[in-house]
Amino acid sequence: MTPYRYADFYQRSLQDRDGFWAEQAQLIDWQSPPQQICDYSNPPFARWFVGGTTNLCHNAVDRHLQDRAEQPALIAVSTETNTEQVYTFAQLHTEVQCMAASLLALGVQKGDRVLIYMPMVAEAAFAMLACARIGAIHCVVFGGFAAGSLASRIEDAEPKVIVSADAGSRAGKVVPYKPLLDEAIRLSSHKPGAVLLTDRALAAMDLVAGRDHLWGDLRQKHLNSVVPCEWVDATHPSYTLYTSGTTGKPKGVQRDTGGYAVALAASMKYIYCGNPGETYFSTSDIGWVVGHSYIIYGPLIAGMATIMYEGLPTRPDGGIWWSLVEKYKVTVMFSAPTAVRVLKKQDPALMARYDLSSLRALFLAGEPLDEPTAQWISSALGKPIIDNYWQTETGWPILSIANGVEKAPSKFGSPGVAMYGYNVKLLDENTGDELTGANQKGVVAIEGPLPPGCMQTVWRDDARFVNTYWKSVPGKLVYSTFDWGVRDADGYFFILGRTDDVINVAGHRLGTREIEEAISSHPNISEVAVVGVADALKGQVAMAFAVVKDATSLTDDAARLKLEGEVMKVVDNSIGAVGRPARVRFVTVLPKTRSGKLLRRAIQAVCEGRDPGDLTTMDDPAALQQIRDLVAP
């Protein structure tokens, strides 16, 4: 028999779309099978597996009880608290039901939102799975976000219950969550009915009577509860996850249930090549999409054990991740280029100390993988390094190598070829025409319908979904990724950066507008521009250039440093340290076009020592010169 060629597999996914995805739908359990595979009668809204009913938690947990109840499912490791706990599928089933019973007791019903603001602890996984179990919609907010960012998400999601904890911990330093949560609830006009708190005994908590409940108490009360899975329509929203764009207001990316489960199951088979009974280790955080798809749902749906890791890659030493690979016989690992760049600075002997023979491949995603980083990890590890390119919006890879269909080489600097189901195009920025030749630079776009697992819409804002993603090319309804790319003659894509004002700091996606809004709230700042500047370790860092209201206050370097510190604090308090600019520099005027548009790209070019390009529309050439003088080496 001739082996299945990926090119044929890919073509079939587009040309016989329904036949292809009907087959993939068999990778999961359905309570009742879908009646229609894809309803695209109202583009760009795609409804997948219409008429089918299923449940994400059933597919991730319950259906494995028959074959692997006593096998590990969730391995929660914290090098911050020096704890390690392994939950079998049977134990996970018990904990999730207990959490589900607690949420039900707090009044959560199908379709209600539950906001999860948690460090990387097992209870966070219980909460996500418990929501899926009862048909509630979870909204996980990254634990590194501060009160302002959390408040805007509470406001938008209107959660009935918030699940949180006393504190997280980073590099041995306790990071209290509860005071941030209390402040966020105070700032938000929406108030949750209840707050469910895991007490890790890291920080004291002031409980609000009648609102705040301790998980320890409710767990005791609901231990051994039986909570059956709520069968929901395939199109029922499973979660929302907020992500940054060009405006200051984050978008709630809304995901369905059936399409997501099928997409993840298929990706585990064709892209990540993980098998039931093996262990998957993704070093991401549940606050990001990788955490949703490839810490929680993907591996568990595939019947794999998944490692949840709280801590740094370098504590107690740079060998910690590899020691986990050895101990738990990890077969598939997923991380980000930034983490690899951090590890590159460690003693390579730390890696050689562990038996990594179980590991088949390391997947990297979230930001461009530069060639030196890829080369280093590839030779240090002696395993295939597989880049994959995708977004919060898509939920699973747009570009990668589907080694589970046909083994194919990776090319350094390229995340790979278009994945099945994605009709990826490169479009001319100005005309919207498709670029079909090799090595032509265009906007990476996807023709609808987006495949299963991708966003359904923006939470409660269909118009924003259409206008943001589908209207960037005049006269054409096509999804824009907002990334530049080129494709070589073999169909391999290369990603060349964002077309919009989104920056990527250590794999974390941030909108420059969000950071600018936070900085502008400082009483002495009248105007600010934030740009992303290339950084050897983090990929990019944010740089801020601000105009002060009262310039007489900036008498000397000490005064400037003091104000810079104050501005950084404002960002810390509003967005969190992830959004903090590397530097805040003060100027008297910002470079703008004559019509008043900030020339962020020109600022960025100057900061990176590049030619700022055509400046004929610039209002005041001296403005850019000020920045040039400030950043001159």
DSSP letter, residue 463: H
Applying CB under 6 A, which of residues 291, 415, 511, 576 lies at the interface with ligand AMP?
415
Q: How far is the CB of 399 from ligand AMP (least distance, A)?
A: 7
The one segment of 21-29, 56-64, 168-176, 381-389 that binds ligand AMP by CB under 6 A: 381-389
For residue 2, give every residue at least 6 positions away whose Cβ sits within 8 Å of its Cβ, in sequence order, or none: none
Q: Which is nearer to ligand AMP, 551 or 577 (CB)?
A: 577
Tell me the sheet residues that pair with 611: none
When asked if residue 366 is in the footprint of ligand AMP (CB under 6 A), the reply is yes
Applying CB under 6 A, which of residues 483, 501, 516, 517 lies at the interface with ligand AMP?
483
Task: Report CA-CA distances (Å) from 152 to 64, 267, 515, 574.
Answer: 38, 33, 14, 10
Q: Which is nearer to ligand AMP, 133 or 509 (CB)?
A: 509
Applying CB under 6 A, which of residues 47, 200, 255, 509 lies at the interface with ligand AMP?
509
For residue 345, give every residue at least 6 positions away whose Cβ sits within 8 Å of its Cβ, in sequence order, or none: none
Applying CB under 6 A, which of residues 423, 504, 512, 626 lies at the interface with ligand AMP?
504
Q: Which is nearer to ligand AMP, 24 or 243 (CB)?
A: 243
When asked if residue 240 is in the footprint of ligand AMP (CB under 6 A), the reply is no
Q: How far is the CB of 467 from ligand AMP (least distance, A)?
A: 18
When asked if residue 271 is in the footprint of ligand AMP (CB under 6 A), the reply is no
When asked if residue 451 is in the footprint of ligand AMP (CB under 6 A), the reply is no
DSSP letter, residue 423: E
Q: How far is the CB of 508 from ligand AMP (least distance, A)?
A: 7
- Within residues 274-303, the interface with ligand AMP by CB under 6 A covers 289
How does 515-536 read in b/e, with b if 16+ C-beta sit within 10 Å? bbbbbeebeebebbbbbbbebe
Give, in degrees to the nearest 5, the angle at Cα 494 between 491 and 496. 150
The one segment of 82-90, 293-301, 385-393, 548-556 that binds ligand AMP by CB under 6 A: 385-393
When asked if residue 365 is in the footprint of ligand AMP (CB under 6 A), the reply is yes
Q: Which is nearer to ligand AMP, 57 or 450 (CB)?
A: 450
Q: Which is nearer to ligand AMP, 150 or 181 (CB)?
A: 150
Contact of 560 with 523, CB cutoff 8 Å: no
Phi/psi for 391 (5° steps) reads: -145, 165
Cβ-based burial of 594 (10 A; exposed 0-12, middle 13-18, buried ≥19): exposed
Q: How far is the CB of 365 from ligand AMP (least distance, A)?
A: 5
Q: How far is the CB of 616 from ligand AMP (least distance, A)?
A: 29
At 208, which amino acid appears? V
- Within residues 550-579, the interface with ligand AMP by CB under 6 A covers none
When asked if residue 387 is in the footprint of ligand AMP (CB under 6 A), the reply is yes
Question: Judged by CB under 6 A, how many residues of this single chain contact ligand AMP?
Answer: 19
Binding track, positions 313-352, relative to ligand AMP; x by CB under 6 A: ----------------------------------------
When asked if residue 367 is in the footprint of ligand AMP (CB under 6 A), the reply is yes
How many alpha carbons lie under 13 Å from residue 180 in its C-beta half-sphere? 27
Q: How far is the CB of 111 from ligand AMP (least distance, A)?
A: 25
Q: How far is the CB of 390 from ligand AMP (least distance, A)?
A: 6
Cis amide bond preceding 337, omega within 30: no
For residue 482, give every residue at least 6 positions away whose Cβ sits within 8 Å of its Cβ, in sequence order, or none: 443, 472, 498, 499, 500, 502
When asked if residue 95 is in the footprint of ligand AMP (CB under 6 A), the reply is no
Pairing status of strand 167-170 against strand 173-176: antiparallel
Q: Which is nearer to ligand AMP, 119 or 415 (CB)?
A: 415
Q: Which is nearer to ligand AMP, 54 or 284 (CB)?
A: 284
Q: How far is the CB of 364 from ligand AMP (least distance, A)?
A: 7
Applying CB under 6 A, which of residues 391, 472, 512, 626 lies at the interface with ligand AMP?
391
CA distance linking residue 257 with residue 59, whole number of Å = 11
Phi/psi for 116 (5° steps) reads: -115, 115
The one segment of 109-117, 190-198, 365-373, 522-530 that binds ligand AMP by CB under 6 A: 365-373
Q: H-helix or E-strand containing 570?
A: helix 557-574
At 109, which amino acid appears? Q
The one segment of 43-51, 107-115, 164-172, 382-390 that binds ligand AMP by CB under 6 A: 382-390
When asked if residue 481 is in the footprint of ligand AMP (CB under 6 A), the reply is yes
What does the block give as tokens for 500?
A: 């919009």
Q: Which is nearer to ligand AMP, 306 or 504 (CB)?
A: 504
Q: Which is nearer to ligand AMP, 126 or 142 (CB)?
A: 142
CA distance linking residue 25 with residue 19, whole number of Å = 10
At 452, which amino acid appears? P
Q: In what order do the strands lie in the sheet with 83-88?
A: 83-88, 72-78, 305-310, 279-282, 330-335, 361-365, 385-388
For residue 364, give every residue at least 6 positions away whose Cβ sits within 8 Å of its Cβ, in sequence order, or none: 334, 335, 336, 337, 340, 374, 377, 385, 386, 387, 388
CA distance linking residue 8 with residue 3, whole number of Å = 11
Q: H-helix or E-strand containing 539?
A: strand 539-548
The one segment of 143-151, 310-318, 384-392, 606-614 that binds ligand AMP by CB under 6 A: 384-392
CA distance linking residue 184 with residue 574, whole number of Å = 10
When asked if residue 368 is in the footprint of ligand AMP (CB under 6 A), the reply is yes
**Which parts of this chain interact with ligand AMP (CB under 6 A)?**
243, 289, 365-369, 387-389, 391-392, 415, 481, 483, 495, 498, 504, 509
